[in-house]
Amino acid sequence: MAEIILFGDSILAGFNHGWTYPVITKTIQQAFPNDHVFNASVPGDTTKDALDRVTAHVLSRKPAAVVLFFGANDLSQILGISPQAYRQNLTELIRKIGANKLIMIGPPMIDERLNPDRPIHRITEYNQIVNDVSKEAHVDFINLSAAMQAQVKPLHQDDGLHFNSAGNQLLCSLITEHLRQRLMKN
C-alpha cells in the first residue's frame, strides 16, 4: 500500500464556502483504493508555511507520492511571497521530499476582479516559476492554469478563487492521471 500525500493550501484542502470538505481526498482515494491518501493541506498556507511543516506532515509519513500545490497565496500582493523566495522555497521542498516522489501543480486561474491582489500577470509569473523549477528537477508538472482556460463551464465559487464542483472534478482528474504515472515509475 502506497502512501499518497496531498500537500497544499485551501484549494487542495477542498475549501467550500468557509469550510474544508474532504471531496478531493475522497475522490483521489476512490481512484487508488489499494493505497492510502492523506491530505496535509492547510487553508492560507504558502510555500514558507510548507517548509515549516514538511517534516512533520509529509516526510514523517514516508510517502510514495506527494502532490504539491502551493501558489494561490504565495502570489498574493498582500500576503504573498516574492517570486525569488517562491522559487527558493519550491526548490527546497523538492530537495526535502525528493523529485522522484513529486507532482507539482502550478497556480490556478483566479478571477482578478474579485481578487485584485492576485492579478493575472502574477499568476502567469508564478506558474512559469513552477514550470521552470519542475523542469530543472525533472518533476511532473500540471499546468492547471492552462487546463482551466480550456474549460467552458465556470470552475470557481462566488469568491473567484476556490473551486466549485466542476473545478474540483478537473483538479482531481488531472491529479489522478499524473499520480497513476508517478506510482508506476516508483
Could you give the CA distance from residue 156 to residue 162 in angstroms, rounded to a whole number? Answer: 6
Could you give the CA distance from residue 72 to residue 44 in angstroms, rounded to a whole number? Answer: 9
Q: What is the pLDDT of residues 25-40, one digit of tens each?
A: 999 999 999 999 999 9
Q: List the domain boundaries for the chain.
A: 50-106+118-169
DSSP string covering 138-175: T-EEE-HHHHHHT--S--B-TTSSSB-HHHHHHHHHHH
Residue that is written with C-alpha cell 473551486 in the block: 163
Q: What is the CATH code of the structural domain delimited by 50-106+118-169? A: 3.40.50.1110
Its pTM stands at 0.95
Phi, psi angles (nearest 5°) of residue 164: -90, -170
Could you give the CA distance from residue 140 to residue 73 in angstroms, rounded to a whole number? Answer: 21
Q: What is the pLDDT of residues 68-123, one digit of tens each?
A: 999 999 999 998 899 999 999 999 999 999 999 999 999 999 999 999 999 999 99
For the chain, percent helix, then strand, then coil, each to nearest 5?
50, 15, 35
